[in-house]
């Protein structure tokens, strides 16, 4: 799975950075071990400029981070840069609001959404560490006042989902 991850990201990483910054139990309508590929758009922009300057044509899988990461790892990284502690609680995907939940994909889709970035890296694709990207996304989101995102759980929806899960566990 890939997703854009710059400051000014309005979809995937902003949700998880914001949610992890609140700390506590995080309802994940997916599996923490899901592989995730993100690219910081600043890296992508530098890469495209390099390709243009070098007059280098071709197709590249410009994805990152440099080291493989899971969705649980993304959330943990976001919590670390925010200075919070989180507990990822997998919940049924049916609890997620349609039509979009950031970065979550069905397990059957995982293999087809993994791309090999070795050619792009050999051509000079930079890779900003995920922690730097996550910190920059969180700072940007806070600076803009953390407006509603229109996807993912609201705090109230997440609390209801977690309460229902706790009730079912009794």
pLDDT at 7: 58
pLDDT at 143 over 90: yes
pLDDT digits (tens, 9 = 90+) for 103-135: 998 888 888 788 999 999 999 999 999 999 999
SS3 141: helix
This prediction's pTM: 0.90
13, 134 Cβ separation under 8 angstroms: yes
- Taking every pair of Cα atoms in the chain, the longest distance, rounded to a whole number of angstroms, is 63
Phi and psi based region of residue 78 (left: phi greater than 0; alpha: psi -120 to 50; beta: remaining): alpha
d(CA 168, CA 170): 5
Q: Structure tokens of 3?
A: 């997703």
Phi/psi at 41 (5° precision)? -65, -25
User: How does the average pLDDT of the chain come out, rounded?
Assistant: 90
pLDDT digits (tens, 9 = 90+) for 18-56: 999 999 999 999 999 999 998 998 999 999 999 999 999
Question: Where residue 2 falls among pLDDT bands split at 50, 70, 90?
Answer: very low
pLDDT at 3 over 60: no
- How many residues can be counted in the chain? 170
Average pLDDT over residues 62-84: 94
Q: How far is CA 159 from the centre of its chain?
A: 21
Alpha-carbon Rg for the chain, nearest whole angstrom, is 17
> Comparing C-alpha atoms, which of 2, 5, 8, 3 is closest to residue 147?
8
Instruction: Give 63: exposed, middle or buried? Use CB within 10 Å, 0-12, 13-18, 19+.
Output: buried
113, 63 Cβ separation under 8 angstroms: no
């Amino acid at each position: 799975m890939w997703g854009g991850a710059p400051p000014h990201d309005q979809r995937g990483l902003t949700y998880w950075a914001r949610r992890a910054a609140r700390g506590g139990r995080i309802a994940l309508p997916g599996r923490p071990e899901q592989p995730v590929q993100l690219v910081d758009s600043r890296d992508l922009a530098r890469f495209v400029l390099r390709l243009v300057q070098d007059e280098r044509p071709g197709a590249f899988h410009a994805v990152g981070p440099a080291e493989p990461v899971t969705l649980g790892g993304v959330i943990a990284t976001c919590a670390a840069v925010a200075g919070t502690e989180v507990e990822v609680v997998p919940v049924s995907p049916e609890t997620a609001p349609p039509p979009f939940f950031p970065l979550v994909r069905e397990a059957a889709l995982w293999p087809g959404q993994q791309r090999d970035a070795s050619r792009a890296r050999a051509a000079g694709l930079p890779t900003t560490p995920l922690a730097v990207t996550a910190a920059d996304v969180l700072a940007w989101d806070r600076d803009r006042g953390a407006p509603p995102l229109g996807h993912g759980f609201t705090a109230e929806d997440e609390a209801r989902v977690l309460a229902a899960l706790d009730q079912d566990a009794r």
